[in-house]
Structure 1
């Protein structure tokens, strides 16, 4: 490639060229650019030197473009359009015209509970866009964001680095869930019944213990875990018609994804609540599209949580 003297290249030169080409007058171009005529004439001189062509010659009262100027004009217009439309930041994101993708990292249960509302709203507000939900956890969250493979991530995240921005969505708590048409126990469930009833847990591996078991062990107690699964909805399906108990996140128990009549109540032991957060990269947090998407998701999830907590 021919070496270019970039010191001689100035965006103002392209603006001057474009104005001269359209107005065919130094004075009219100067007025359009809010420049004095000497400055516009100086820019034309630099353009002529840079492109090694007269570019515009006076014919009567007009500056007539040369053949070289005619060839360059559409390319200059394209460069200015790319710079103004695609490079310069937009103050406001316009979802109606967006034709790209919204890539959202979500935990299993967040996707089940909030995914439909997020998708439906994005389809309504950004009808030409596509939506992708990707599985995310504390292990892969930062890598997905850093590689720009996700726009935002939703879930439970621990020990995130400083270059990640965390937005609190809501405080999640644990509830005991069971089919009381089978259990036929008093509400809330007492500790003895809880410990003696077979239990289901959500586990990401083959281990059938969680923090709950550590809490019980500290008090010399033990529960009877008989089933582990990675899927929250499996827990609800398995509870129906069976004498079993599960401790699960409140939103999983209150969601209407399954038509069941399970009972929810406070556990007989202390199980710490936990935060559901949304995370983005600090350096992308002011991007108009990311800002718009983040605020939309925050409003949708918080509204959904309030609705579910007021239903039952």
Structure 2
């Protein structure tokens, strides 16, 4: 393996790159802090290895051969990549950092976190950017372990599974409440089970948290619509006889946007916890920890209270 590289002194590659960029042995030697004779000797070794002149003199300029022109972009890219990845990590400075974070979210978790976070970052980290992507499953374990995403925003019940390579940062606890059209003035368990339901399934799951809990109670509700997005759901509820269970964190905002009434869930159900999931060996360790702290600080827990 790497039989060619074993025969090549890799210290010669910066020599090739410098001569190609400067078109001059003298200027390349100055950049690399070598004498011109030492650089000329290194160039001779490169010519012997590649069996090609690589550079020829034309007046005062060293012009690359056809083969050198073919090699140059690959050598430059390789040296640049190695230099970038082998350089000591610079301390993270949020005021100047232009890092981009790739974060897996659902409609709900993005709604909870990003309004407050982006406001908080306006003056503290103005150059940071985010790429939000659909959370393919909960809690995007494969993508986190593969380094495809930096973090995932999701939620779990108290008895949820834990992976040893993932860090879980609790943001806040929430619970489900029910929304219905304004024609409904009360809601009991019998009404709830008799109605049709709209269920948001961000991972296209066959059974949601409440359906699993109802099954443990020996109960079942009728699902009329499953949708991966929360955006249209409140407006469907406002114009139909369907019910929808939503996290209380978003209830007051939804009530402002759609003509709906809110009710307590007519049966006991466990609360769930909204969490940040990240890999314990993330390449963006310091920036990730800083963003996680900012997320936690920017959350203002606003759950709907029926005594308001």
Question: Any gaps of 5 or more consecutive residues in structure 1?
Answer: 5-65
Q: Is the 8 A contact 1:104 1:150 kept in 2?
A: yes
> How far did 1:308 drift?
4.8
Q: Which residue of 2 aligns with 1:58?
A: none
| 1:117-176 Cα deviation digits (max 9, x unpaired) | 334444543333332112225456233223332222111255342111111111121111
Secondary structure of the residue aligned to 1:132 is: strand
Q: Which residue of 2 aligns with 1:112?
A: 111
> How far did 1:278 drift?
0.6
Provide the C-alpha distance between the structure 2 equivalents of 1:297 and 1:265, rounded to a whole number of angstroms.
29
Provide the C-alpha distance between the structure 1 equivalents of 2:277 and 2:205, rounded to a whole number of angstroms.
29
Provide the C-alpha distance between the structure 2 equivalents of 1:3 and 1:219, rounded to a whole number of angstroms.
68
Q: Which residue of 1 aligns with 2:197?
A: 199
Note the 1:53-72 alignment, pairs <5 A.
Answer: 70-72=30-32
Q: Which residue of 1 aligns with 2:183?
A: 182
| 2:270 is aligned with 1:268 | no
Q: Which residue of 2 aligns with 1:132?
A: 131
Q: Which residue of 1 aligns with 2:296?
A: 298
Q: Which residue of 1 aligns with 2:146?
A: 147
Q: Given the superposition, is the C-alpha separation of residues 89 and 206 from structure 1 closer, same or farther in structure 2, using an over 3 Å criterion?
A: closer
Q: Which residue of 1 aligns with 2:57?
A: none
Secondary structure of the residue aligned to 1:242 is: coil
Q: Is the 8 A contact 2:117 2:295 kept in 1?
A: yes
> How far did 1:252 drift?
3.3
Question: Hey, which of these two has a bigger chunk of helix by percent?
Answer: 1
> How far did 1:195 drift?
2.2
Q: Is the 8 A contact 2:109 2:154 kept in 1?
A: yes
Q: Is the 8 A contact 1:137 1:156 kept in 2?
A: no
Q: Given the superposition, is the C-alpha separation of residues 102 and 73 from structure 1 closer, same or farther in structure 2, using an over 3 Å criterion?
A: same
| 1:201-245 Cα deviation digits (max 9, x unpaired) | 2235484x5454455456554433322222223221111133221
Is the radius of gyration larger for structure 1 or structure 2? 1
| 2:104 is aligned with 1:97 | no
Q: Given the superposition, is the C-alpha separation of residues 161 and 294 from structure 1 closer, same or farther in structure 2, using an over 3 Å criterion?
A: same
Q: Given the superposition, is the C-alpha separation of residues 169 and 137 from structure 1 closer, same or farther in structure 2, using an over 3 Å criterion?
A: farther
Q: Given the superposition, is the C-alpha separation of residues 206 and 148 from structure 1 closer, same or farther in structure 2, using an over 3 Å criterion?
A: closer
Q: Which 4+ stretches in 1 moved above 6 angstroms? A: 66-69
Provide the C-alpha distance between the structure 2 equivalents of 1:258 and 1:196, rounded to a whole number of angstroms.
27
Provide the C-alpha distance between the structure 2 equivalents of 1:248 and 1:292, rounded to a whole number of angstroms.
30
2:230 to 229, 232, 239: 232
1:244 to 226, 242, 245: 242
1:2 to 5, 9, 17: 9
Secondary structure of the residue aligned to 1:284 is: coil
- CA-based RMSD of the aligned residues comes to 3.6
Between Structure 1 and Structure 2, how many residues are aligned? 235
Secondary structure of the residue aligned to 1:155 is: strand
Secondary structure of the residue aligned to 1:170 is: strand
